[in-house]
Amino acid sequence: MEGVKGMDIQYRFQESENTWMVRLIGEVDIYNAPQLKDSLLNLLNERQGNIILDCRELKYIDSTGLGVLISALKKAKEFNGSIKITNLKPYIYKIFSITGLDKIFTIEVQGA
Amino acid sequence: MKVDHIELKLPAKPEYILVVRLTTSAIATRAGFGVDEIEDIKVAVAEAGNAIINQGMEMECLNFMYEIEGNTGLRIHITVSCPQDKPFSQPDVVQNELSLYIIESLMDEVSTQVSDGRLLGVTMYKKFGG
C-alpha cells in the first residue's frame, strides 16, 4: 500500500468535525515529498477543514517532509484550520522535537 | 587503529536517497551501534544528501565514504561531483539550514565543505556509546 514512491496517503472528510482524516503510510523523503504537498494542499482547496494526520504507519519522514507539513499548516491557518498529528512513533517524534516543530503542531505519540 | 572503509557512489537524484538510508542502516548495524543510534545516523546521512541535492546545481553523483574506526566510532564523508563550469540556481536556504540543524543535533561532530556558496561536502562522526 506504499505505492511506487514508497509513500501513500488515504483520506476521507468527516463532515461532523469539518476535518480531513488522513492516513500517511510508508516513508516521506525528498523524492515523494512534492507528491504529499500536492495531495494535502489539494484536500484543503477542496474543503477548507482541519486535518488529523494518522501516522501509525509512517516509518520515516525527513526535513523535506517536515517542510510539506509546515506548508499545509500555513494553508490551513489561512481559514483558521489546524493540523493534528496522531500515533507518531517515538523515534519520528524526535525529529519534530529537535526542530521545534513539536511546539507548532499538536502531536500525539504512540504509547505516550 | 583498524579502520574499515566502505564507499557508495550514486546518481545525485532524490530517488536514490532511499538507497542511502538502507545502506547507512546496514553499515551502522554492522559497526555495532544500537537501534536509536542507527536511526540517528541514517537520518543524518540522508539529510546531508538532501542538503546537497537541494541546491539546484547540476550534479553527477553523490559519494558516501564510511569509515568504521575500530571500537571508537563511525566517520562518514559525503561529497558531490559536479561540473564546475555549470551555473546553479538559488539553493533552498531554509530547507538546507533545517537539514544541517538536524545533522548537528544527531551526530557528535559535523563539518561542512563550502565553496562559492555551494555545499560540496559534509563530514560527520558518531562515537560508540555517545
Tell me: the pLDDT tens digits for A9-41? 999 999 999 999 999 999 999 999 999 999 999
- Residues 6 or more apart whose CB falls under 8 angstroms from that of A71 comprise A37, A40, A41
Q: What is the DSSP letter of B107?
A: S
Cell numbers found for residue B71: 571500537
Nearest Cα neighbor of B98 from A88, A69, A100, A36 is: A100
Question: Is B50 within 8 Å of A31 when comparing Cβ atoms?
Answer: no
The letter for the amino acid at B43 is: V
Contact A97, A89 (CB under 8 A): no
**pLDDT at residue number B1:** 82
Nearest C-alpha of chain B: how many angstroms from A75? 18
**pLDDT at residue number B96:** 85
**What is the value of ipTM here, to two decimals?**
0.90
Residue A8 CA from chain centroid, whole number: 12
Q: Is A29 on the interface with B (CB under 8 A)?
A: yes
What average pLDDT score do residues B57-76 get?
Answer: 92
Chain A neighbors of B54, CB-CB under 8 A:
30, 64
Q: Is B18 on the interface with A (CB under 8 A)?
A: yes
Q: Is B22 on the interface with A (CB under 8 A)?
A: no
**pLDDT at residue number A4:** 56
Question: Is B43 within 8 Å of A62 when comparing Cβ atoms?
Answer: yes
Summarize pLDDT for A77-104 with one digit per residue, the tens: 999 999 999 999 999 999 999 999 999 9
For residue A29, give the nearest of B18, B36, B102 by CB distance.
B18
Q: Is A30 on the interface with B (CB under 8 A)?
A: yes
Question: Is A98 within 8 Å of B105 when comparing Cβ atoms?
Answer: yes
Contact A78, A111 (CB under 8 A): no
**pLDDT at residue number A76:** 97
What average pLDDT score do residues B57-74 get?
Answer: 91
Cell numbers found for residue B62: 553523490
Enumerate the H helices of chain B as residue ranges. Answer: 17-31, 35-53, 93-106
Q: What is the mean pLDDT of chain B?
A: 90
